[in-house]
A and B are shown apart, each in its own frame.
Chain A
Amino acid sequence: DAGVIQSPRHEVTEMGQEVTLRCKPISGHNSLFWYRQTMMRGLELLIYFNNNVPIDDSGMPEDRFSAKMPNASFSTLKIQPSEPRDSAVYFCASSQTGGGYTFGSGTRLTVV
């Protein structure tokens, strides 16, 4: 199994631009999570899906952030418009019910 696959690994964009982060969970996992990690705030849960349905998006910072999971094998996290304070490492993770999470390698986003 290739694990949780995130793309791109690094993204540098200008303030105001749209950014789309992508995640392919492990086949058979029914839950998917998006986290953001920064030095100041640590790991923050942004949103999670169960069986492709968004369950809790209370961690999404503001309306500029949106996430979708159109099918069991793909999810996106979009930031529009991006701001410098969005610079962080964004992790996707997936799990089966009762199991631990498997994390992707993350996307390091820099907004200049």
Chain B
Amino acid sequence: AQSVTQLGSHVSVSEGALVLLRCNYSSSVPPYLFWYVQYPNQGLQLLLKYTSAATLVKGINGFEAEFKKSETSFHLTKPSAHMSDAAEYFCAVSGGTGFQKLVFGTGTRLLVSP
């Protein structure tokens, strides 16, 4: 079985500051890991995914995440926040190759102040 825990339901940063959204996973098999972003009144959009290749994954809009097996973590970072990054971010895990079911975390709302 797979699960993810997102630490912090809300994260506030200033524009230009580092963004760090935390995600820890649990999986009985080698996982695939994903980050999604949801803007108000929209569906979820894939930011990036880890599928057992490079452990540092780069995504859209300047975001990246690093898979750390020893820490069972997949934290999302961005060096410099923009106002447009304000949204809800979801971490998700699946059981790897073959047919997959994604299990989502509870989400972290990112607030960006001027």
Contacts and interface: CB of A to CB of B under 8 A. Distances in A.
**A and B bound?**
yes
Contacts of A70: none
B42 A42 contact: no
Nearest to A103: B43
A12 interface: no
Interface residues of B, number: 21
Contacts, number: 51
B97 A98 contact: yes
A48 B43 contact: no
A48 B101 contact: yes
A42 B43 contact: no
B17 interface: no
Contacts of A55: 99, 101
A43 B104 contact: yes
A31 B100 contact: yes
Q: Which of A56, A97, A103 gathers the greatest number of chain B CB atoms within 10 Å?
A: A103
A105 B42 contact: yes
B78 to A, nearest CB: 19
A45 B92 CA distance: 12
Contact of A97 (B42, B98, B106): B98
Interface stretch (B23-31, B44-52, B69-77): B44-52
A108 to B, nearest CB: 8
21 contacts: A4-B43, A31-B99, A31-B100, A43-B90, A45-B103, A48-B101, A55-B101, A91-B43, A97-B97, A97-B100, A98-B51, A98-B100, A100-B46, A100-B49, A101-B34, A101-B36, A101-B44, A101-B102, A104-B43, A105-B43, A106-B43
Interface of A: 4, 31, 33, 42-43, 45, 48, 50, 55-56, 91, 93, 95, 97-98, 100-106
Interface of B: 32, 34, 36, 42-46, 49, 51, 90, 97-104, 106-107
